[in-house]
Structure 1
Amino acid sequence: MHRRDLLKAAIALPLLPLALSPVTVSARTAAKGFTGPFTRVRPGDPGWPSQAQWDQLGQSVGGRLQQLHSPFETVGNAASEEALKQIRNPYYLGDTPSLTQTSGWVDAWTSRPSAYAVAAENTGDVVAAVNFARKHRLRLVVKGGGHSYQGTSDAPDSLLVWTRHMNRVSLHEAFVPQGCEGKQAPRTAVTVEAGAMWVDAYTAVTTEGGRYVQGGGCMTVGVAGLVQSGGFGSFSKRFGSASGNLLEAEVVTADGKVHVVNACHEPELFWAIKGGGGGSIGVVTKLTLLTHDLPDTFGAVFGAIQADSEASYRELIAQAMRFYRNALFNPHWGEQMKFHQNMLHLSMVFQGLSQQEAEQVWAPFFAWVKARSAYQFKEEPRVIALPARRFWDADFFRQHAPQLIVADSRPDAPRNHVLWAGDEGQVGQFIHGYRSGWLPQSLLDEHRIDALAGAMFQATRQWGFSLHFNKGLAGAPEDAIARSRDTAMNPGAMDAFALAITGSESDPAFPGMPGASPDLAKARQDRTRIDQCMDALLVVAPGAGSYVSESNYFEPNWQASFWGSNYPRLAAAKRRYDPDGLFFVHHGVGSEDWSDDGFTRLRQPA
């Protein structure tokens, strides 16, 4: 962003609450001649497409229009039995357009299928769906991986653009974005279609190609959704955000036009999709990402430490944070420390170190723990390292560490379709509560670190939480931070040493699913304690922003929380490329102009 634009955004941000107030907006819209709300149509409403019109859409997309029904709509048939069998299989959920990776959130949303879906196989199919939705005033939803905690990848009574079958991956030895010839040097890159998962990208780029692309930690997350939300993976402390590594994208906008965007061509649309949130400005159909030299090794550190009292636990927290600051606050280290019930769980990863080097890094901390009777290892520490090229190699893990992966159990599943065993618990989850907050690196200063440890301890008296060090980019190399800063993400992520996350969930609870009975009273109690936990932690980081993909559904002042000073610029891009608001997601850019369900426009955009 140019300095003048940054100053304008900084000046505009404090005015957001006023700018978005109903009174102010009503006055503006009256001046523009806004005469009343615009309402999208639902089945049964006048204007809902006739069967002949749906058939015409189906013909235009090569027969790839589907009328959607939940497999639990009729219990006891083959479809519902298969769904129950596969309900913890994220690959099955992703392959079923009527289901999502999260089944709902108490008092927020419930997973319900769209009325119809275009199972897009090419950009032309997406264009046809967008034009049809605009012409017939339909609610339009976009789904690739379907991993949205916020429920943005489904909506009843809508038309779904389902990109799952657009999953081709192509490597480039010398890529130059269109229109950037002579302005940018050729770079190694990978082009990924919108429906591909990160397991597809990692297989092609790393396992087969011997290079690295910055993606997500969960292998079944969609590439396009992650990039549009900002995108963190286990090794972001070295390579930056996924959106910061985007070189070019193909986007279908609300007018049905196809744009190839990059830093040289339509840079504002390019910037907006780099962290501006999926489903708000257009349908991304193809992305080209920078690839990097692959480190020699990737590795992990596991362990769990129990403290025997509150006083010793508080001391353990302080020691862990000093150890992080002194030994781990650098591009080699990422992932998590989890704090709950007087326990510290370690689930860290590293890159570019040998196993011996990693063991030497941790030796002082483990020695400190072992020297004190107040602590006990509930899980003995383990340090493992492997050739980086094998980190997403399913067959390698089948041979050497089968307990760390879970395979897609269907008989026709590709062999590389596995997930980390630690991710299985969130498949189909029903969320009770969830919050995140970026913790600034200044909290690691010696004069503040004890206050940080005190706030962390107080937070654990309410609920457990994790620090995701790879999701704060402070400590990353300058080039990684520079790439990530040139995105729409909240700039606070660049100065954060970690993203704090707290939440809870229960078993899948899709509507009509046999045996699905979430304890709503307990869910609401959990939500209260989750809020108390994060509030206690953020005493030392007031006003901390949160990560749009991992955040509170009920986030107040979400525009500033998710995007900070970048929101006015994002809102301007929304007005330019989607002035009539065809694209709507909960707490997405421009959603303040619409009813909560996205069906009724309450006011014209400012």
Structure 2
Amino acid sequence: MYIDVLLEVSLVLALVRASSAQTIVVDGHIITADESTIKPAFVTIDAASSNATADLFPGETHQLTDAVLANLTDLGLTNIVLFGFADPLTAGNASIIGPCKVFPADPDVFPSHITERVFDLLLGGSLIQTKPFASPCYGDYGNEDAARCAEITSHWSDDSFIHTNDPTSINAILFEGTSCVPHTVNPYAINCTIGAYPTMSVNVTTVYHIQLAINLARNLNMRLVIKNTGHDYSAKSTGAGALSVWTHNLKGIEYYSNYEEGSYKGHAFKMGAGVQVFEAYEAAHQRNLAVIGAGGKTVGISGGYILGGGHSPLSSIYGMAADQVLSMELVTADGRFLTASDTYNPELFWALRGGGGSTYGVVTSMVVKAFPEMPVTTMTFSLSTGEQVSVDQFWLAVRAYLTDLVKYTDAGNYAHFNINATSGAYIWDMVPWFAPNMSRQELQVLAGPFFEAIRDIGLDLKPVYQEYTNFYDAWDNSFPLESWGSNLARYGSRLFPRENWEDSAKLSSTFAAIRHVVDQGGAVSAYNVAAAPKSGYPDSAVNPAWRKTVLHAIDIVSWAQDMYTELITIWSNVLTADWGTTWRNVSPGSGAYLSESDYIEPDFQQSFWGNNYDRLYKLKKKLDPWDVFYARNAVGSEDWEMSDYIFGTLPSQNSRLCRKGTNLSQ
């Protein structure tokens, strides 16, 4: 309350002075002090004075500085300290920072509308008060709209664009609390609440937006989350009572024909954090080039995808997407803007490539390598049990395919396939087998032994081949728009190592573990992919298990909307305790993919980072002693815990976030 009173007085003083057409000086620039000049709290810096290895985007030159803060203080905003840069004296001091992040239930310390009003002025009007995406379907937020609700409902599950274009909508709605969804998603819903969606969000278009948000969150001990597109199995982009930094609109793309950084010299693109896969691929294709990105069209390529490592349809040739990064621009926990590369802040650069998002800072852009376009051949097929195909034949066919996964990735291939059992039938869909730099004839030769085995089993798969002259068309036609998350399923994953294919007993155990999930009513969505290219790869925080992997498999458990909570709890626990344990037992010492993993992955530190974890944790404590950045299963997240749970074992994002061991009853 005291803070808000000061801010209200300061705001009145500022507006009074503005009405007298007072001038202020910001980093040597004399400007008139009116409402339009109070609100944009930045100065345009000289890009040449930075350590950036590529030209800064215009929004990156608009920065908050100590001089800006000083001049705003002189203007009358006496409590501008709330937006000030980090004080080293508060670093790691829990007695100052507090045992828990402030929560909406704490009215005396949680920011009120007065703080938000000043914040919005300084941001230039970029503050968004959260209304859940599906709120037009209800009357709770005063925006009920039947036509808009119908539009949202009809595209909720099959159009990820509508969610990635919203400031707070996320994929992992189960862990958010399913607090506001269309009735087709939850027919029992009677109202719409904010749940674990952040209280407010900053529509970021400039660096100073991020700096103001980080500084305010750190100084008020607010929970801070970062949303780019919301693609994540672990709900890293949301949290009750949080301030969200929405980077989706950082869309700059710049091409360099002869970029030099370290030993690299060649094609490169600088991309803003909000650039999505389809935008990056289109930009590269226009120049007859390709960049290493995801299969999913709406995934944010320069955000958590690369920060978490990023596997790609081209990984078996070039490695992980994180391997292609040449430099990054970001704002760190102290509110400062800096460059990370092999030359500047190399330890941070090492960590950012694979160390995970929402951990070391908010990335605004990165420079990545680009490669010449290449021809691609794809193959699809489907097999299901029935009158013509027995269950034994089905699994013999799957086993015949799995046998040669190493051979396929050694040839630079990538494949995505799904196996499940629905309506009493087993179904296997190859969607697609992706063969860069191969003609149809070459792919047929590579896959020849597999199809010979299929014929010996007594089956005819009837594969469909398609040849493309370039990567872009092959990708665009082969990977459909990804579906959005559900509150009726949970996911886990495992990276199965090459060594399991070098021993017949281990291969049999791997096959049996995968079949076990499907036989028990689960589904498997898997990728035949390797990430240890013959040309080598840089030293980075990418999970070392990726360098030994030939199969990244995701297991999926689902349940019906009308199931009793007790039964759902049992099914949810099966994913981790039964299927997950089975997969871990046949791949000891391996790991899982951070961005597509079990929400309660046991020993996540080893699973996601292996022997890199200690180094990552030490750097996290050094760069963010205030614990500004937190995300589920991120580096350092083991120091925090939620106050409530879903199904007894799943920490609810719709709860208070506190340091581990905090007694919430006091």
Common topology (TM > 0.5): yes
The 3-state SS of whatever aligns with 1:161 is strand
Paired residues of 2:377 and 2:434 also in contact (CA < 8 A): yes
* Cα distance between partner residues in 2 of 1:191 and 1:242: 14
Paired residues of 1:212 and 1:293 also in contact (CA < 8 A): yes
Aligned-residue offset at 1:522: 5.9
One-letter amino acid matched to 1:212? A
Aligned-residue offset at 1:385: 1.7
Paired residues of 1:145 and 1:225 also in contact (CA < 8 A): no
Residue of structure 2 aligned with 1:173, choices 248, 252, 257: 257
Residue of structure 1 aligned with 2:619, choices 541, 565, 573: 573
Cα separation, partners in 2 of 1:368 and 1:145, compared to 1, 3 Å: same
Aligned-residue offset at 1:312: 4.0
One-letter amino acid matched to 1:487? S
Aligned equivalent of 1:320? 401
Aligned-residue offset at 1:598: 6.6
Paired residues of 1:438 and 1:499 also in contact (CA < 8 A): yes
Paired residues of 1:314 and 1:453 also in contact (CA < 8 A): no
One-letter amino acid matched to 1:479? S
CA RMSD, 1 decimal: 2.9
Aligned equivalent of 2:535? 479
Aligned equivalent of 2:593? 547
Residue of structure 1 aligned with 2:239, choices 155, 176, 179: 155
Aligned equivalent of 2:497? 440
Residue of structure 1 aligned with 2:658, choices 578, 597, 600: 600
Aligned equivalent of 1:102? 172
Aligned equivalent of 1:15? none
* Cα distance between partner residues in 2 of 1:41 and 1:212: 45
Aligned-residue offset at 1:452: 3.3
One-letter amino acid matched to 2:523? G
Paired residues of 2:137 and 2:149 also in contact (CA < 8 A): yes
* Cα distance between partner residues in 1 of 2:359 and 2:564: 33
5+ residue gaps, structure 2, are 1-91, 139-143, 181-194, 643-654
Aligned-residue offset at 1:525: 4.7
5+ residue gaps, structure 1, are 1-31, 178-182, 398-403, 405-419, 508-515
* Cα distance between partner residues in 2 of 1:234 and 1:431: 28
* Cα distance between partner residues in 1 of 2:625 and 2:603: 22
Paired residues of 1:106 and 1:523 also in contact (CA < 8 A): no
Aligned equivalent of 1:125? 209
Aligned-residue offset at 1:278: 0.6
Query: 1:421-448: per-residue Cα shift (whole Å, max 9, x none)?
Result: 3x54x31322522111111111111543
- For residues 18-33 of structure 1, what are the structure 2 equivalents within 5 Å? none
Residue of structure 2 aligned with 1:262, choices 307, 325, 341: 341
The 3-state SS of whatever aligns with 1:575 is helix
- For residues 490-505 of structure 1, what are the structure 2 equivalents within 5 Å? 490-505=543-558
Residue of structure 2 aligned with 1:281, choices 360, 363, 366: 360
Aligned equivalent of 2:77? none
TM-score w.r.t. length of structure 2: 0.73
The 3-state SS of whatever aligns with 1:571 is helix
* Cα distance between partner residues in 2 of 1:284 and 1:255: 14
Aligned equivalent of 2:300? 222
* Cα distance between partner residues in 1 of 2:94 and 2:623: 20
| 1:293 and 2:372 matched | yes
* Cα distance between partner residues in 2 of 1:442 and 1:580: 42
One-letter amino acid matched to 1:246? V
Paired residues of 2:233 and 2:491 also in contact (CA < 8 A): no
Cα separation, partners in 2 of 1:457 and 1:116, compared to 1, 3 Å: closer
Aligned-residue offset at 1:174: 1.7
- For residues 80-119 of structure 1, what are the structure 2 equivalents within 5 Å? 80-88=149-157, 89-105=159-175, 112-119=196-203
Query: 1:15-72: per-residue Cα shift (whole Å, max 9, x none)?
Result: xxxxxxxxxxxxxxxxx99669533222352222243321221122221111111144
Aligned equivalent of 1:48? 110
* Cα distance between partner residues in 1 of 2:136 and 2:420: 41
| 1:384 and 2:441 matched | no
Aligned equivalent of 1:334? 414
Aligned-residue offset at 1:389: 4.8
Residue of structure 2 aligned with 1:367, choices 448, 452, 460: 452
* Cα distance between partner residues in 2 of 1:202 and 1:272: 26
Aligned equivalent of 2:327? 248
| 1:468 and 2:516 matched | no
TM-score w.r.t. length of structure 1: 0.79
Cα separation, partners in 2 of 1:112 and 1:83, compared to 1, 3 Å: farther
| 1:196 and 2:196 matched | no
* Cα distance between partner residues in 2 of 1:265 and 1:346: 44
* Cα distance between partner residues in 1 of 2:566 and 2:444: 45
* Cα distance between partner residues in 1 of 2:582 and 2:118: 56
* Cα distance between partner residues in 2 of 1:236 and 1:193: 22
* Cα distance between partner residues in 2 of 1:568 and 1:109: 37
Aligned equivalent of 1:510? none
Paired residues of 2:497 and 2:550 also in contact (CA < 8 A): yes
Cα separation, partners in 2 of 1:428 and 1:499, compared to 1, 3 Å: closer
Aligned-residue offset at 1:257: 0.3
Aligned equivalent of 1:67? 129
* Cα distance between partner residues in 2 of 1:550 and 1:60: 37
Aligned equivalent of 2:632? 586
Residue of structure 2 aligned with 1:205, choices 240, 265, 284: 284
* Cα distance between partner residues in 2 of 1:55 and 1:211: 46
* Cα distance between partner residues in 1 of 2:509 and 2:256: 49
Cα separation, partners in 2 of 1:570 and 1:352, compared to 1, 3 Å: same
Paired residues of 2:171 and 2:232 also in contact (CA < 8 A): yes
Aligned equivalent of 1:29? none
Paired residues of 1:203 and 1:393 also in contact (CA < 8 A): no
Aligned-residue offset at 1:559: 0.9
Matched length: 524
* Cα distance between partner residues in 2 of 1:161 and 1:121: 10
* Higher relative contact order (CA closer than 8 Å, sequence separation 6+): 1
Runs of 4+ in 1 over 6 A off after TM superposition: 106-111, 516-519
One-letter amino acid matched to 1:120? V
Deviates more, 1:159-168 or 1:295-304: 295-304
* Cα distance between partner residues in 1 of 2:439 and 2:123: 51
* Cα distance between partner residues in 1 of 2:177 and 2:569: 9
Query: 1:241-288: per-residue Cα shift (whole Å, max 9, x none)?
Result: 111111100010111000101011111111111111110111111111
One-letter amino acid matched to 1:51? H
One-letter amino acid matched to 2:485? G
Aligned-residue offset at 1:298: 4.6
Aligned-residue offset at 1:371: 3.6
The 3-state SS of whatever aligns with 1:434 is strand
One-letter amino acid matched to 1:571? Y
Cα separation, partners in 2 of 1:519 and 1:164, compared to 1, 3 Å: farther
Query: 1:428-478: per-residue Cα shift (whole Å, max 9, x none)?
Result: 3225221111111111115433343344444442233243112x42xx422
| 1:527 and 2:572 matched | yes
Larger Rg: 2
Deviates more, 1:236-245 or 1:437-446: 437-446
* Cα distance between partner residues in 2 of 1:390 and 1:319: 30
One-letter amino acid matched to 1:497? V
The 3-state SS of whatever aligns with 2:597 is coil
Cα separation, partners in 2 of 1:202 and 1:137, compared to 1, 3 Å: same
* Cα distance between partner residues in 2 of 1:97 and 1:479: 40
* Cα distance between partner residues in 1 of 2:271 and 2:595: 21
One-letter amino acid matched to 1:90? S
Cα separation, partners in 2 of 1:392 and 1:47, compared to 1, 3 Å: farther
Cα separation, partners in 2 of 1:74 and 1:518, compared to 1, 3 Å: farther
User: Percent identical across equivalent pairs?
Assistant: 23
Paired residues of 1:281 and 1:577 also in contact (CA < 8 A): yes
